[in-house]
Each structure stands twice: as structure tokens, then as C-alpha cells.
Amino acid sequence: MATSASISIQGDTLTLSGVLDHESVLDIDQQGQQWLLESQTREYKLDLGAITYSSSAGIALLLGWLRIAQQQQKTLQFLHMPASMIALANVGGLEDLLV
């Protein structure tokens, strides 16, 4: 079964929608990295309200983007994180970083 996630970018806000799993994050990771590296903005927002499902691969994706933002001395704020992703972050002890 093919899964998919999509990205839309409007200014300083990137919106993720769909399913974040080991398959779909590979398709969108590069787009998010490019957005963080090429934009001149210092403060970014990542809207997760349209995520329908996320495995731990989605959490890993967010951590990777957060690392890139920090390396670029930029801030990345997560908005509308689904409860299931919050639960994954809590289990991994990552709530201070992501929630």
C-alpha cells in the first residue's frame, strides 16, 4: 500500500498533510531541508494539523528538520501537532523539543 504526504509552503509556514511513515518521509525530507536552508527567514512554523497518521519516522523527520534549523541559527515552531504525534514524542522523551 502506497502512502503519501505532501508539503505546501506559504511564506514562513510549511504545512504537512497526509501520512508520515518510513516510505513517505523519504519523499518530503529533501523539500523541507531545502526550505530551511534556502530561505532568509529566521523564524519558521511547521503546521502539522493535516497529518492523518504518523509513525516514529515522522518524529525522526521533525527532529532532523529541527537540527538543521538549529545549525542555521533559525527557530522552528511546531503547530497543531496531532495527539498521536505528541504521544510518540512523550514516549521517546522528546516532548521538550517537539511539543
For each successive 10 residues of the chain (99 residues), what is the average pLDDT? Answer: 83 95 93 92 95 95 96 95 93 83
Cell numbers placing 5: 504526504
52: left (phi over 0), alpha (psi -120 to 50) or beta: alpha
Instruction: Indicate the DSSP class of residue 20.
Output: E
> How much is the pLDDT for 1?
47
How far apart (Å, rounded) are the C-alpha atoms in residues 59 and 36?
17
> How much is the pLDDT for 2?
55
Instruction: Identify which of 76, 80, 8, 71 has the alpha carbon closest to the alpha carbon of residue 41.
Output: 76
State how beta strands 75-79 and 43-54 pair.
parallel
